[in-house]
Chains A and B, each alone.
Chain A
Amino acid sequence: MDDLYREVIIDHYKNPTYRGELDPHDISFEDENPLCGDQIRIDIRLDEQGKVSEAAFSGHGCAISQASADLLLESIQGKSVDELKQLTKQDVLDLLGIELTPVRLKCALLSLKVLKAGVYGVNQATDSLVEE
């Protein structure tokens, strides 16, 4: 537990670097976890080479969902759209560096699902987007 709520997660939850909204944006998507009502919107701007120049998230939810969104956006700076498509569940878990129960896994993966739904231009952030 001390692991689950280790300082880096509490810190990203309380003082996120990438919280906000970008308007205009090149990619934007929003969805929620119906189980707990956690909600995340991600906005992305791309540079001329099609790489992430700016990213921001907004919404509300538990420490795990919000911290993982902040960590995820930190990790995608400068990445190409193709690279975003390659992101997996394991990438997010590596960022968090913690073990998660199946329920909390949904919190942790919400931001990745939202990101990939936006990148793929689909209308719903489904679990299949983040399966290996």
Chain B
Amino acid sequence: MIEETARDLNISRIREDFPILSREIRPGVPLIYLDSTATSQKPRQVIEAMDEYYRRSNANIHRGLHTLAEEATAAYESARERIARFIHARVARELVYTRNATEAINLIAYSWGRKFLQEGDLVILTEMEHHSNLVPWQMLAAEKNLRLEFIPVREDGLLDLETYQALLELRPKLVAFTQMSNVLGTINPAKELIRQAHQVGALTLVDGAQSVPHFPVDVQDLDVDFLAFSAHKMCGPTGIGILYGKEALLQEMPPFLGGGDMIRKVHLRSFTPNELPHKFEAGTPAIAEAVGFGVAVDYLAGIGLESIAVYEKELIAYAMERLEEIPGVTVFGPPAEQRGGVTAFAMKDIHPHDVAQILDTYGIAIRAGHHCAMPLHEKFKIQATSRASFYLYNQKEDVDRLVEAIYHVKHIFGA
């Protein structure tokens, strides 16, 4: 099955691009990295580009007139243009650099939300949101007395779209949801959710932290109003993310943070904001990280997001099949066809922390806990889960090693 896509995707060549994959966790125990949903590993192309930037071109951007400043500015802005093409944005100025997806969502809440939402206004979220698309709205709701409603998650891990219809009749001002759950792996029907929200006059915000790295996301085709995502989950560095917003909306929004670079003119008692996207980028940004982000999207686009998505789907189908065969293991979420490369599972009478710790002795990196989605775990009446996630550099053998190690966990616990 996987051999078939190997024609499109040369996995062993891809693996050679990621230096960390040749690391041994202890002598003779190679790393098996199954935690890309938390953060992806970085190809040498990204690492080298950032290194090269610091060695050759490092300078502060904008306004500098010397060669280095010009090179740094060009590299920073060229990365923005390539990321814009990656998500099919109309123009690069619709992309604001942020620290990460979380900051991008906070930016929307603070800037757009504070200006355009009034007491009693309704914001619709879902029960499967990461805390990053939950807490900013709770904070704003407390401040402005907003109403929050949630599209329920069904037993099978999919959104309850009938309840969504009913909620839309309450005339929400904003519908904000994740395109792919970081726990269940569920891929939500974003285009349809957005179309229906627009029909009742609501704006839409998509948390793309898990989707943009793993399958093609086209903001114009989705017609999404705001999209947030992070570089570090898509082969890029930590410390940088993107807020995409339709230009007309970003124009109407007040600045988020004040400081240098976000202004056109400053007097002692007043300022005029800079034009897009700089209006939202106060202070010296993460320049080397932008350079790395640009190379990361080049890298992913070079391989092809379609191929990556197909390959991950095959991997996750195989992983779920193998995991479900193990007595005492419960896999949460929808079938492989409706999910990305993530699987959360529980082992009967064995806590996920113990699972993760024992797997680590076999060099296997998974995540254990509530994965920043406590309400979702409450819903499924579990304290925590173990989560294995896959990316383009994982292989079928990784799944086999995971399954073997889970049998060792069972053995240690006499289960």
Contact = CB atoms under 8 A, between A and B. Distances in A.
Interface string B59-77: 0000000000000000000
Interface in A63-109: 63-64, 104, 107
A11 to B, nearest CB: 10
A36 B368 contact: yes
B384 interface: yes
Nearest to A66: B351
A4 interface: yes
A63 B377 CA distance: 20
A62 B346 CA distance: 13
Contacts of B377: 37
A5 interface: yes
B369 A63 contact: no
B26 to A, nearest CB: 10
Contacts of A4: 357
Contacts of B349: 14
B354 A36 contact: no
Given A37-B369, A107-B353, A5 B358 contact: yes
B383 A37 contact: yes
Interface in B327-380: 349-354, 357-358, 360-361, 368-370, 374, 377
A29 to B, nearest CB: 19
A62 B412 contact: no
A61 B357 contact: no
Contacts of B351: 38, 60-63
B28 interface: no
A64 B353 contact: yes
B385 to A, nearest CB: 10
A36 B357 contact: no
Nearest to B384: A37
A30 to B, nearest CB: 15
Given A37-B383, A62-B351, A62-B354, A14 B361 contact: no
Contacts of A60: 351, 383
B414 interface: yes
B54 interface: no
B413 interface: yes
A60 B352 CA distance: 12
Nearest to A1: B361
A5 B383 contact: no
Nearest to A11: B414
Instruction: Among B351, B360, B370, find the residue whose CB has the most chain A CB atoms closer than 10 A.
Output: B351
Nearest to A37: B383
A5 B369 contact: no
A60 B346 CA distance: 14
A94 B374 CA distance: 33
Given A35-B369, A36-B369, A14 B414 contact: yes
Interface centre among A38, A39, A62 (most CB of B within 10 A): A62
7 contacts: A10-B414, A14-B413, A36-B370, A60-B383, A61-B383, A62-B353, A63-B354
Interface of B: 349-354, 357-358, 360-361, 368-370, 374, 377, 383-384, 412-414
Interface of A: 1, 4-5, 10, 14, 35-39, 60-64, 104, 107
Q: Which 4 A-B pairs have the closest CB atoms?
A: A62-B351, A62-B353, A1-B361, A37-B383
